[in-house]
Amino acid sequence: MFRCLSDPAMDNITDSIPPSRILVFGALRAPLNLNTWLLTFAVTTVAALCLFSASFFGSSLFDKDGNSIPAGPKGLPILGSFPFLTQYPELTLDRWAKKFGDLYSVWLGNQLFVIVSSPAIVKDLIVTNGAVFSSRKEMFIKSQTVFAGRGITATPYNDRWRKHRRIATNWLNQRAVDSYTPILDREATVLVKSMYQQSHAGAVPINPQPHAGRASLNNMLSIVFGFRTDSIYHPLVGQALRLSREFMNVTGPVSNLVDFIPWMQKFPTPMRSRGQKLHQDLVDTYGGLIKDIEHRMRMGAAVPDCLAKTMLDTEEEEELDHLDMAILASAFMIGGVETTAAIMQWFSALIPAHPEIQMKAHEELDRVVGRERLPTVDDEKNLPYCHAIIKEVERCHNPFWLGTPHVASHDFTYRDQFIPKDTVVVLNTWTMHHDPSRHTDPDDFSPERYIRDSLTAADSANLADPYQRDHWMFGAGRRICPGMIVAEREIWLTISRMLWAFTMESLPDEPIDLKEYDGLSGRSPVPFRINLIPRHPNVAKVLGMEETPP
Annotated binding site for heme: 481
Task: Convert 249-281 to b/e letters by CB count within 10 Å (16 or more is b).
Answer: bbbbbbbbbbbbbbbbeeeebebbebbeebbeb
Does residue 336 touch ligand HEM according to CB under 6 A? yes
Q: Does 461 bind ligand HEM (CB under 6 A)?
A: no
CA terminus-to-terminus distance, the chain: 68
Verify binding: residue 340, ligand HEM, rule CB under 6 A.
yes
Q: Which of 153, 199, 409, 417 binds ligand HEM (CB under 6 A)?
A: 153
Contact 71, 102 (CB under 8 A): no
Give the span between the Cα atoms of 171 and 518, in whole angstroms: 29
Per-position b or e across 216-241, b if 16+ CB within 10 A of its CB:
bbbbbbbbbbbbbeeebebebbeebb
CB of 469 to ligand HEM, least distance (A): 13
Q: Kindly indicate which of the ranges 137-145, 400-408, 446-454, 511-519 contains the residues binding ligand HEM, using the contact rule CB under 6 A.
A: 400-408
Our finding on whether 403 is near ligand HEM (CB under 6 A) is yes
Rounded Cα–Cα distance for residues 240 and 314 (Å)? 26
Interface residue with ligand HEM, options 339, 423, 428, 524 (CB under 6 A): 339
Q: Between 503 and 521, name the residue whose CB sits nearer to ligand HEM.
A: 521
Q: Applying CB under 6 A, does 208 fall inside the site for ligand HEM?
A: no
CB of 444 to ligand HEM, least distance (A): 22
Each residue 159-178 as x (binds ligand HEM by CB under 6 A) or -, in order, gives: ------x--x---x------
Per-position DSSP letters for 390-418, written without gaps between them = HHHHHHHT-S-TT-S-EE-SS-EEETTEE
Q: Closest separation between CB of residue 130 and ligand HEM, Å?
A: 10
Q: Which of 187, 21, 184 is nearest to 91 (CA)?
A: 21
Helix ranges (DSSP H) in 16-117: 34-56, 89-100
Question: How many residues line the site for ligand HEM (CB under 6 A)?
Answer: 28
Closest separation between CB of residue 276 and ligand HEM, Å? 22
Q: Considering only residues 472-501, where is the footprint of ligand HEM by CB under 6 A?
A: 473-476, 479-483, 486-487
Taking CB under 6 A as the rule, does residue 332 contact ligand HEM?
Answer: yes
Residue choice 48, 79, 152, 289 for contact with ligand HEM (CB under 6 A): 152
Q: How many CB atoms lie within 10 A of CB 61?
A: 14
- Does the footprint of ligand HEM cover residue 331 (CB under 6 A)? yes
Is the separation of the CB atoms in 473 and 130 below 8 Å?
Answer: no
Binding residues (CB under 6 A) for ligand HEM: these are 152-153, 165, 168, 172, 331-332, 335-336, 339-340, 343, 399-400, 403-404, 406, 473-476, 479-483, 486-487
